[in-house]
Structure 1
């Protein structure tokens, strides 16, 4: 997960200078706030501020930047949307473009030209930010999970990089015998643990609901096969205790040379440069494994939205356009040192300077899916995700509950959430 990032909130106060007239007093100047998650890499944060200041100079405005913690992002969005006051521009988190679509400005005319120049747009970004055929947020960047592995250990056991989940299990058995196992989080954590369960379920063809987003489809042979795989992996390849792991557990274990294979954002690689220089040269990345039904990864893409309560919506829209446009985005992406990518998939072809060991990061964005897939994102699918219904199902299986009973228990909770009997 992005636990190594230090996401921040960037509030930009823009003060319009009236053409041909003396600048008004500070208290009389228009104010525009933009709340975004910035990166833990200082040069990326610095460049984002420069990009905003650059735009401000072009428009004849003044920009001031303020940072606050990650924990304020979602409450700030909710409070601003419900109160009709607060920042003009905000980073979209979770399903907020859908939950508060009527509070957000239509930005279809901004996304259209971006897609024409740098598309196609990843399916996950379209699902997250397009509501009833209209864009309510502009795709910005994404930080998907990837398979993180030790090249030296794979050479020692004579195995290639796993491409399928069965490959990962075979490799994992050998790594466990060597004392540096494959490990996946299976506790109550919103990113890594969800990635483990959802990726394996989807890869085996299991689904929560049908494409209509309403018909519950969890009870299926595909779900049984996915849970059987998770049980085998837990018994044969994963280290004990993964049911208690949080988002940071696999990071610590990998950096401590206690894991040789795991799924994570690229943060382990960045942390190893400083914390584990002995293993850093051998760390590499690959797509999360595929299964009989293909490859799919749960994560949230990042986009920017303009609130309808903005008193300076034209300026706010123009700033969003400027930040997300190719020239500015590519400059900023370079400063993130390759840890992220763009939901505008054509951007990848224009990018320069990415470390070869991070080339997988933008490539896997195309496999991103939102909870509830293949159905559209809904409040119900978000609740199933937030309450760890499917994670608990997998936990119950590895703890010894019969698979049919574990599915029935999850099914009962899903029916309650979806209002079905």
Structure 2
């Protein structure tokens, strides 16, 4: 398909006339309402994104960017930083007023400097009306009151990944569906010489996902609906007592892990169970020497705890445009183009289930049913719980996550650095300094 400059400038509304047909989504409805953005003369853009864990995802994004440049003449420079470095790099750019035009931020990072970000409400609303709306969990991260300060880009689903033969060898015909069963499985696997391992260090994705699950699965929460800090609660202490027992089944050293460490340990054959994006499967599947491991890998959603329902954080990423950009129309034209069905569907395909759509219409992408291991990641955007639970998102929730309060609390209790009661009390004090 040839995409003209006119198609790009008209966005979804122009492409709806017929060139936006997609084998995954069908034609975009005639009611498509993505606004027009004509790039400024001589415009060029710089995008800061996180380093990829799935090369096909990056390749698809670069290919789509090349199509945009060919159609508009707008060159787009793409820079990459590690997951841990994106947050401080973006914050510095916001504060000094220079750097990339567009940045991919994590969770509610955009809530820390909303006045530094371009209002993209028209673009986001147009995309929502055209593609069935954003999932609520993704939308809340990108909005301040009624104003979009970013466009929800993707959810990186987090699921439990395990070696099926080892689980069976430990005496379990299927993976446990509750926290009590997970603890019993951990003990059995450790006895067989196949320990589990979940990230307890400052891993933006894996550390936050696991520790928030520990807290929420037992009914704990950072703040109440009114924004009052309530993390020092009986439910939190129960969660911390549980993780202290679960930690005894772990491989040593998980308290220092970042997002890459559990991947490496699992691929090395040192782990039986961890939690990760689907990238961990493809690290094995794409290595001929690890074919047997890949065939033995399965995924499932986190077990349900005493709270009685699934509670999962999942990592979200939002594309924000800084107000200081010289080319706000070009930046919005670029994002509008990348969300058009042919480009966005190609990106989801390239990501191989690593990135979950934020717009509901793209749930029909066949990537979710192409492999059994993808199933646990398919509804990440639909089921995610925002990190500021149970209170509203904003500067306080963003600061609490950036300060690693939940991660540190769970790690301290798990490793015995503090008792569960001491860890919860310290987390309460740290959070109160932010939520005052």
Classify the TM-score, shorter chain.
0.7 to 0.9
CA distance 1:271–1:416, change in 2 (3 Å)? same
Corresponding residue number in structure 1 for 2:6:
none
CA offsets 1:68-123 (integer angstroms, 9 cap, x no match): 44476445533443344443333233434222222222222222233234345233
User: Are 2:297 and 1:280 aligned?
Assistant: no
Q: Give the TM-score normalised by the residue count of structure 1.
A: 0.83
Whole-angstrom CA distance in 2 between matches of 1:184 and 1:44: 25
The equivalences for 1:21-420 within 5 A come to: 29-37=42-50, 39-59=52-72, 61-70=73-82, 73-156=86-169, 157-213=171-227, 215-235=228-248, 237-273=249-285, 274=287, 276-293=290-307, 294-352=309-367, 354-398=370-414, 399=416, 401-419=418-436
CA distance 1:253–1:381, change in 2 (3 Å)? same
Mapped contact 2:161–2:300 kept (Cα < 8 A): yes
Q: CA RMSD in A?
A: 2.7
CA offsets 1:317-345 (integer angstroms, 9 cap, x no match): 12111102322100111112222211224
CA offsets 1:359-404 (integer angstroms, 9 cap, x no match): 2223233232333212123333333333333333333433174433
Give the secondary structure class of the aligned counterpart of 2:123. Answer: helix
Unaligned runs of 5+ in 2: 1-8, 10-40
Q: Which moved more, 1:357-366 or 1:116-125?
A: 116-125
Whole-angstrom CA distance in 1 between matches of 2:196 and 2:147: 42
Whole-angstrom CA distance in 1 between matches of 2:148 and 2:268: 44
Whole-angstrom CA distance in 1 between matches of 2:105 and 2:357: 15
Give the secondary structure class of the aligned counterpart of 2:326. Answer: coil
Mapped contact 2:116–2:322 kept (Cα < 8 A): yes
Whole-angstrom CA distance in 2 between matches of 1:217 and 1:72: 30
Mapped contact 1:202–1:295 kept (Cα < 8 A): no
Whole-angstrom CA distance in 2 between matches of 1:328 and 1:145: 24
Mapped contact 1:334–1:354 kept (Cα < 8 A): no
Q: Give the TM-score normalised by the residue count of structure 2.
A: 0.80
Q: Which moved more, 1:62-71 or 1:173-182?
A: 62-71
